[in-house]
Amino acid sequence: MQKLIAMNGMRPTGPLHLGHYTSALKLTLGLQNSSTCKEIYLMIADDQALTDNYGNPAKVSDNVLEVALDYLSCGIDPNKVSLVLQSQIPALKEMAFYFLDLVSLSRLERNPTVKAELKQKEFRNNIPVGFLSYPISQAADIIAFNSDIVPVGEDQAPMVEQTNEIVHKFNYLYGNGKEVIHPCKIMLPSKKESLRLPGLDGKSKMSKSLNNCIYLKDSPDVIKTKIMSMYTDPLHLKVEDPGHTKNNPVFIYLEAFASDSHFKKYYPEFNSLKELKKAYEKGGIGDVKIKRFLLDVILETLSPIQEKRKELEKNIPYVYKVLEEGTKKANKVANTTLKRIKEAIGLEYFNNSSLIEYQIKKYQ
């Protein structure tokens, strides 16, 4: 089978959280540890982060290293995955400029993820053009590396759709029957709970700006406080009351993280989540007990990641080196794609002997 190219990225507006881990990061780790891919690019999207943090650029630049540390702590292997720092790839901006011509304002305004973000940010009548058009810049990120698959959470589906619309329009207009730039497919987590992990408050998604996250680098004490004050089932007042497991973030997290071996180790009264759910729904199990179990599961999941982070924090120059090397490789590929794009549009004026010959003839 032909090996694929995978690409995804995250915005450096803070350290990464469990939502990033269950979706894009776990998928990337899975690809890295299989033989599916010949190339994998994992971006730190600092330019994209600036589209809504332009007033506070230090927040973005400070978090670049934070995200790089999180990537590597989770087990991303720089020999198999190129870490890419978006702002250091000039070709992305050039590409995005040509793609701007292929997308209408109303199309951008229809993007459901952007719509939800706009509502949350309350730009009102002052929506920055850069923010509204970030899906076009994201299309450049994906197209630049000839990506076949984009492993992400569900909220990124509209970006992948937008990318493919640009690809098809570009190839139709400028391709002369050929594929100049490459369409891609989204790759989503197989567990439905991991598609969009809810926040600690039970709100739609775990998000830095909603302040409802467990960060990968949170200390065990902080994680304990966060889990113990989590939103659960508001109708489950007494231990004997029947509880609801649906829309209950504690159970959604258990679905995403707990395995049967966790039960054996920390909650041997039950063999599986299915059994625990049944018992909770019947009544007789208190929320504190469930939360303690979730705490054990999360701490066990994060402990190797946090160990690795401690090691990496002692070697910051190494982390920068990894970032620099990955970005160097990414620049090479992106420049080749940009050259194809400009040639297809007809923007190769110099060192182009056939163009010069044609013009000479025209003026003879």
What does the binding site for ligand TRP look like in residue numbers (CB under 6 A)?
A: 7-11, 43, 45, 48, 138, 141-142, 150, 152, 156
Which one, 45 or 216, has the nearer CB to ligand TRP?
Answer: 45
* Residue among 141 and 287 whose Cβ is closer to ligand TRP: 141
Q: Which long-range contacts (CB under 8 A, 24 or more apart) does 280-283 make?
A: 280/243, 280/245, 280/251, 281/242, 281/243, 281/244, 281/245, 282/242, 283/239, 283/240, 283/241, 283/242, 283/243
What is the smallest separation between the CB atom of 238 and ligand TRP, expressed in angstroms? 41
Q: Which amino acid is at 211?
A: N
Tally the residues of the chain. Answer: 364
Longest dimension (CA), the chain: 95
Residue 17 φ then ψ, to 5° = -120, 180
| Min dist. Cβ of residue 294 to ligand TRP (A) | 25
Give 138 or 232: the residue with its C-beta nearer to ligand TRP.
Answer: 138
Residues 6+ apart with CB under 8 A from 137: 47, 48, 51, 92, 93, 96
Residue 8 or 32: the one with the smaller Cβ distance to ligand TRP is: 8
Instruction: Kindly state the smallest distance separating residue 152's Cβ from ligand TRP, in Å.
Output: 5
Among left, alpha and beta (phi > 0; psi -120 to 50; other), residue 122 is left
**How far is it, in rounded angstroms, from Cα 28 to Cα 8?**
8
Nearer to ligand TRP, 86 or 301 (CB): 86
Minimum distance of ligand TRP from residue 346's CB (angstroms)? 28
Q: Closest CB to ligand TRP among 11 and 309?
A: 11
Going from the C-alpha of 208 to that of each of 5, 40, 200, 205, the distances in angstroms are 29, 26, 11, 10
Q: How far is the CB of 242 from ligand TRP (least distance, A)?
A: 38
CB of 162 to ligand TRP, least distance (A): 11
Q: Can you read off the two tokens belonging to residue 224?
A: 């304990």
